Chain A
Amino acid sequence: MTKSRNKNNNKAKIGFTYLLVFLLLLFFFYAIRMILLHRLPPDNSRIPLTALEEKIPIPPRPGVQGIIITGPVIKDLIFQIDTKTSQLRKLDWRRIESIDKTADVKIRATVLRNGSLEFNPITDVISPGHSYAGNEIAKVVETWKYTHYKHGRIYFWFNFPSSGVKLTIDTHELVRNEDLSKKYFVRNGLLFYINGLPLSCVNQAGRVFVGE
């Protein structure tokens, strides 16, 4: 008697387990269905009660009197330090700052049409009382080369004691090279190659007054 009761209990348990599994599967099935329905675009998941008048725009039409074929995008040219130059040297700001904290160096240089910088280290580097810093900076700056999109006068002011802008670059005398096609716009990019100087301390659109 107990055996048959046990057997019945077991059967009920198995049956109950099966039912539970079945219900769980059914639940998963509907859950997946709901997720798939939600992922469909609204038009495909719902049948509207009223037919909405679809406003389809008139598609583009071909012209017979001529064609304008879309061409490539004209990328702006960037006047900036040409990092592909092999002799390019980075100025170590912190090293010079550690040697001479109050260094005030101005450089008056010329950007040639090929992008290289030209200046006289004696007459074009103005650093009264800070000759060491002036020499060090001049040695590095003369290796800088720019992309060949502009030429003209460029001025640098390395102002170490300043609490705000420490480097000012004056580019207002630069002009675009004549051999460039008029379709290109030339923008200024990064005009210095310095390690240890935050960008917020640099003003590339400033004015530098250097005595002649």
Chain B
Amino acid sequence: MAFRTKENSFRKVQLVSLIDMIFILLVFFMVTVTVVRLTIKEQKLPVPTPISERGRAQIVIQLLNNGNFLWLDDHATAQISKVMDTIEKNYSYLSPSELNRKKTEEALSILLKKNIFRKDQMEGKLKHLLKIADSDPSSHYFVLLRSPDEIPYYEIINIMQKLNSAKYQNVLYGCVGGRLDDIKNSQNVKVVIEKDKNGRRRENLQIDF
């Protein structure tokens, strides 16, 4: 008798094995995936201590008691430089000390008129600075924060923390105590021409307290 071979039935999906494997994987994922939760952690923020000499900075931020701030950078220096060139031309008949005093007065007047900003503008200015720093990894910035005694120190920490977020960590900062009056009462504000580390000549603004 010739038995007809049974036709192969279609392979059924091995449900039991499949479910077993899925459950194993599910349990595995449940165990290994860490649930993202925000925890408050104490951290350390290093800040350099001041030195008792004339310091250098690319940007100076002087906090004011009313929440506003003075922001001095290369734009402020360019403004002062123009004013000083004009004074040099128009007041050349004055003696050197008188000329220096005139330049200082005018420079301070310009500095205080055109470079004081509102509290809500700080975020924008810091963002702009970070944008420039992030666009050029070879650039380096040092931001000097000057604060009056009465300001709660968390405000300074806030600013430093934002500066810390530069992509290439090329924005450094330091903070010292100081008031706007120190700048206002400065006896010597001048533009000095110095070579930077790349050998380029720059007009730097020198303010002595």
Interface residues of A in 170-212 (CB under 8 A from B): 179, 181, 183, 185
Report A171 CB to chain B, min CB distance, Å: 23
Q: Is A48 an interface residue (CB 8 A)?
A: no
- B81: interface (CB < 8 Å): yes
Chain B residues lying within 8 Å of A66, measured Cβ to Cβ, are 53-55, 206-209
Q: Is A72 an interface residue (CB 8 A)?
A: yes
Q: A60-B48, A70-B74 are in contact. Are A65 and B208 (CB under 8 A)?
A: yes
Q: Are A72 and B77 in contact (CB under 8 A)?
A: yes
CA gap between A74 and B194 in the complex, in Å: 10
> B193: which A residues are within 8 A, CB to CB?
74, 183
A63–B56 CB distance below 8 A: yes
A-B contact count (CB 8 A): 123
- CB of A40 closer than 8 Å to a CB of B: no
Interface SS of chain B: strand
Which residues between 171 and 209 of chain B lie within 8 Å of chain A, taking CB atoms? 172, 174-176, 178, 191-194, 196, 200-209
Give the Cβ gap from A5 to chain B, nearest Cβ, in Å.
14
- Chain B residues with CB under 8 Å of A68's CB are 54-57, 192, 194, 204-206
Q: For the complex, what is the distance from the CA of A58 to the CA of B202, rounded to whole Å?
A: 25
Question: Shortest beta-carbon distance, A165 to chain B, in Å?
Answer: 32
Query: Would you call A70 and B51 a contact (CB within 8 A)?
Result: no
The answer on a CB contact under 8 Å between A67 and B50 is: no
Check: B49 CB closer than 8 A to any chain A CB: yes
A46 at the A/B interface (Cβ < 8 Å)?
no
Flag if A74 contacts B202 (CB, 8 Å): yes
Q: Complex formed: what's the CA distance from A102 to B134 in Å? A: 60
Within 8 A of B (CB), among A146-185: 179, 181, 183, 185
> Quick check: is B73 within 8 A (CB to CB) of the other chain?
yes
Residues of B within 8 A of A65 (CB): 52-55, 208-209
Interface size classification for chain B: 35 or more
A181 to B201: give the CA distance in the assembly, Å. Answer: 14
Distance in Å: Cβ of A46 to nearest Cβ of chain B: 22
Whether a CB of chain B sits under 8 angstroms from the CB of A64 is yes
Which residue of the partner chain, among A62, A64, A71, A179, contacts B81 with CB atoms under 8 Å?
A: A71
12 contacts between A and B (CB under 8 A): A59-B172, A60-B142, A62-B57, A63-B52, A64-B55, A67-B54, A67-B144, A68-B204, A68-B205, A69-B57, A70-B74, A73-B196
- Interface of B with A (CB < 8 Å)? 48-60, 72-74, 76-78, 81, 85, 88-89, 142, 144-145, 172, 174-176, 178, 191-194, 196, 200-209
For the complex of A and B, the 9 pairs showing the least CB-CB separation, nearest first, are: A63-B55, A71-B77, A62-B174, A66-B54, A66-B208, A71-B203, A61-B48, A69-B205, A74-B201
